[in-house]
Structures are given as structure tokens and as C-alpha cells.
Amino acid sequence: MSGWRRRIAVTGGCGFIGGAYLRQMVPRHPEDLYVNIDALTYAASPERVAAVAHEGNYVFERVDIRDTKAVVECLGRHSITDVVHFAAESHNDRAILTPLRFVETNVVGTANLLESWRVVAKGSGGRFHHISTDEVYGSLPIEGGEGFTESTPYDPSSPYSASKAAADHLVRAWHRTFGLDVVITNCSNNFGPFQFPEKLLPVMISNALSGRRLPVYGDGMNVRDWIHVEDHCDALDLVLRQGRAGRTYNIGADCEIPNITLVTMLCEIIDQREGPLPGGRSRASLIEFVPDRPGHDRRYAIDASRIREELGWSPRHEFRQALEDTVDWYRTHRAWVENCQKSDEFRAYAERNYGERSGDVS
């Protein structure tokens, strides 16, 4: 098929959320061409898109969004009409160790991509969809039912969230200054298959399956709002196609849980499936509280009223069942996790931060 309705560049398509997006959208929209633009850094995995790699409306391009010349060439060669921008450094602990790397990718890279697309796709009538995070809003009080709305003032606490906030502002500036059709989405914590094993759920599942310690920051009462990655991707597709230009949409599934409660739930699920540890111990006995990280926000929560009311979106997954399904996926894909953990960059980072193969505790 040559007369594509849309030619969509998906940056970071070998990442966790970008890969899930492509796995869903490539078969859902055969009339659109999807060009996966990814630099294949340490957390990328081509296996995330293996299910669609041979589809006729999918193309892969190894390009770093910080390389303006390469980005312009790639977007031009494929006559890109729309951009869905996932590519980012996203791991908070790494942002503390190498903050300038986050500025280069998340801020400079986004500016390069915006300007490249402005030059290449001028007059195409296409859209730039920037995927961001709820962390740009800072921290909420631990008590109180309110969540972040699209009008909540930005108050980032970490180099990561500050770099994403800066990128959000750049996207709005290109909209207001140059008239580009842009949308921004800010989402809560994602979970599901193929998440890199330095994030909370894959770390805890992998460690619990192997009988290793389960490090939890501080008192474990930091609250996060969780959403299954497939529900997030459904929302992203709606925003790309039906969202209002210049609009921000918060995406969340109304699922606030303290970290310690979530880790305990994972232990319970794994105990049910694998049996207890030697001596009949629950895996919850592996939980170890470790010193809190700098800039660790206390609570996140999303008010997703706008996307629900304007676009009719709602999550499909029930949290407990989705959590059990996620545990089962990691139980049957241990080789993928172990392969991720073999990389030199992963080993060096984990040993420097934890003295063993472990990871972020959100």
C-alpha cells in the first residue's frame, strides 16, 4: 500500500510504552504507516516490536533525536505527517547520577524533533503528540483525594521531571509561536509486559522470583497512581486522532496505591503461583527498607476527567487482574529479563546504586 492516510513517526518505539503503542496501533490502523525512530540505547529492545516488525505498514529507523541532520533526513524521506514522541530518558535514579544526559535527550532532543518536523511537515495538516509524565506537577499531600488536573502548576522535583517539564513548555511554545498542531499527554505510572528491569514492578517481580531482597525506598508510603500500558496506549490513540489542538490531557486509571502495599501484593501473587520460600516464608519477608532517594515525591494522582468527558476514554483493565497477568508474563519471560540485566550499562548502574542487580523502587 502506497497511499497512506497518515505517515506517523513514533520516536522511542523500542521502549516500553512506545513498543506497546506500536504493537497495538500497527494492526489497528493498517491504512497508516508507522515509522519507528529509535536510537537503541540501553533500555530499548527490538523484541518489544517483534510482533509487528514484518507488517507492511511498519518501518524501523535507527536515529538519535539529538542528531538534527539525521532526524530531518528521516522525516523527509518518509514524508512524515504526524509525530508521536515517546523518546526520553525516564529513570529517576539515573537522572540523579547523570542529569545532563536527561537534558540532552529530553530537552534538546525534543527541540530538535519539533524544529525538524516543522521544516519537513509544514502544511501537512499533521500533529505533534508529545508524551509526558505526571511528575512535572511535583508532589501532592499524602492525604486528600484531589489529583493533578491539566491546570495544576508545574513544580518538578527531580532532573528527570524538570527535563520533561521543559520539553512540555517547548512543545507549547512551538504551538503558540509557529502555529503547529500539538497535543500533550501527562500520564501516571505504567505497568505491563516488556518493562525494563530497573523499574518498580519488574524489579520486585524478578527479585521475588529469585529470592533476592526487595528494596523499598523510605517508609514505603509514597503513593503512585497506576495504569496498564495498553490502557494508556488506547488513550494516546484517541488524543492523536480526536484531541483538540494545543490541548493537554491527563491520563490515569484512578488507582492510587502506596509502594509498600503494591510490593506486598506482588509477593502474595508470586507466593500463590510459585509456593512459599524455604521454611514456608512469604516473599514479603524479603522486603528491606532502604534510604530514600533525593527529590522523591510523596504522592502522585491523576484527575482524568477531561479525557473521559471530551473523548469518552476509560481504562479496560481491572487492576488486580492486570497485575496478576503482568506477574505471569514475567514468570514466563525470565530469559528476556535476564538478557536485559546482562548489559554492561545495567550492571554498572545496579552495582553502583545497590551493590547488586536491583533497581528503582519508584
Q: What amino acid positions are annotated as catalytic residues? A: 134-135, 160
- Are 157 and 295 a contacting pair, CB within 8 Å? yes
- Are 238 and 311 a contacting pair, CB within 8 Å? yes
Q: Identify the bridge partners of residue 117 per DSSP, sorted by sequence position.
A: none
Q: How would you classify the pairing of strands 58-62 and 33-38? A: parallel
Scanning the structure block, which residue is given the C-alpha cell 527529590? 295
- Are 103 and 59 a contacting pair, CB within 8 Å? no
Scanning the structure block, which residue is given the C-alpha cell 500500558? 229
Q: What's the rounded Cα separation, in Å, for the pair 322 and 326?
A: 6
Output the CA torsion 146→148→149→151 (10° steps): 120
Output the CA torsion 118→173→302→257 (10° steps): 80
Q: What's the rounded Cα separation, in Å, for the pair 143 and 251?
A: 21
Q: How would you classify the pairing of strands 256-258 and 223-228? A: antiparallel
Residues counted in the chain: 362
Q: What's the rounded Cα separation, in Å, for the pair 362 and 342?
A: 22
SS3 label, residue 351: helix
Q: Alpha-carbon Rg of the chain, whole angstroms?
A: 20
H/E run at residue 35: strand 33-38
